[in-house]
Amino acid sequence: MKTIIKNGRLINPATNMDQAAEILIEDGVVTKIDSLINDTADEIIDAKDCWVVPGLIDIHVHLREPGYEYKETIETGTKSAAKGGFTTVCPMPNTNPVTDNEIVVEYIKLKASREGSVHVLPIGAITKGQKGEELANIGKMKDAGICAISEDGRSVLNAGLLKKAMTYAKMFDLPVLSHCEDDSLAGGSMNAGDAATILGMKGIPDEAEELIVARDIILAQKTGVKLHICHVSTVGSAEIIRQAKKTGMGLTAEVTPHHFALTEQAVQIHDANTKMNPPLRTQKDVEAMKQALKDGTIDIIATDHAPHHLDEKNCEYDKAANGIVGFETALCLSITELVETGVLSPMQLIEKMSYNPAKLMGIDKGSIEEGKMADITIIDPNKEYSVDVNSFVSKRKNSPFQGRKVKGLVKYTIVNGEIKYKA
């Protein structure tokens, strides 16, 4: 099978390439990149006025399978990812049973190979059952194919246990993805502040996040592990990370689109689609997230794609589940809020959505080069439209962005040389 992508603008951070180029794909591999390719092909893709970029990589997702298939499945979740331009996703371990052993890891990989539209790299739990009491068998999960460990959805509050996990992760060359939240300070439904007071809701203060960010950085410095801070949301967290990076430690961090596109002012007690963890913060925090992206303090944009059943959102705000779906809005929100406003260049955006995630996970992806697997996303950056949750291919529609005007549309998602999504 031969495919040629013609007339596109190739943006490839790994080689610092941003120019008109054509790409020949043969049997799943990029075999030629040139200004003009005249070979015959089974399929010609016209990418005029489009960006041609390495397939997007999402290192923080929830596919819900096994155990919560009523929310999402590997099949529906990866179809949604493909529509969003992602060619590789890394599902978190808070499944049922928890992804804390090699059997569950192997199950996820098998299901993904049979039903998935994109590459799926599971993340293993740090502790058994995510109970924070006893370490999971990290070595066996590594052998089975995990790409990282995390306790996402909660922090390992026992510092001694976390330090031991970091020591093992360092041994197995696995990054630790840290959800930073001190339960004793959290427990609310939205950001602590004036908006929460007006709405009469208990708030989650900044320090609930910042305290664990600082602690985990200290432990990572002592153990030498690759630490990645998930869904950064506060001014203080960004500054702690910024200062830690100046020491040269192997530290990375991510932000979600909703944390740079929305503030606590979006919260309405009758719409739990604005409820997430960490919560939507202030305008000052949003501006801090954008600055941290711009200056490199935050390396990665991840969705934290978290589908929930309608009944889990259509209830009292404080009882509603945390999280929103994110695959199908991540790119357009990033282009609209970051590229169109001059916060990031197109090259910097793709670096944070493909190249940097690949580097963190140690996978041979995130670049379009001759001889490499053809994981490619083609984007029309100028297409304007309004978000319509009813058009999502995800099993769930829990998004606060219904009706929002955005720019940037995925035209094609190519995985291992095969078109998995076409607009």
Give me the active site residues, please.
Answer: 304
Q: Which helix (H) or strand (E) holds 397?
A: none
Round to whole Å and give the CA distance between 100 and 139.
11
Taking the CA atoms of residue 397, residue 401, residue 404 and residue 407 in that order, the dihedral angle to the nearest 10 degrees is -90
The rounded radius of gyration (Å) of the Cα atoms in the chain is: 20
Angle at 223 between CA 220 and CA 227, to 5 degrees: 30
Under a CB-based contact definition with an 8 Å cutoff, are residues 57 and 26 in contact?
no
Q: Would you state the structure tokens that stand for residue 7, as one six-digit string? A: 């007339």
Q: Which phi and psi angles does 78 have, rounded to 5°?
A: -75, -25
Report the Cα 29 to chain-centroid distance in Å: 25
The Cα–Cα gap between 237 and 211 comes to 9
196 CB-side CA count, 13 A:
17
Tokens of 47: 């990418």
Q: Which residues of 1-23 are buried (b: 16+ CB within 10 A; e: fewer)?
A: eebbbbebbbbbbbeeebeebbb
The Cα–Cα gap between 177 and 18 comes to 31
Amino acid identity, residue 408? Answer: G
Contact between 50 and 379 (Cβ < 8 Å): yes
User: CA 391 to CA 393: how far, in whole Å?
Assistant: 6
User: Does an H or E element contain 324, and which?
Assistant: none
Query: In 293-394, which ranges are E strands?
Result: 300-301, 376-386
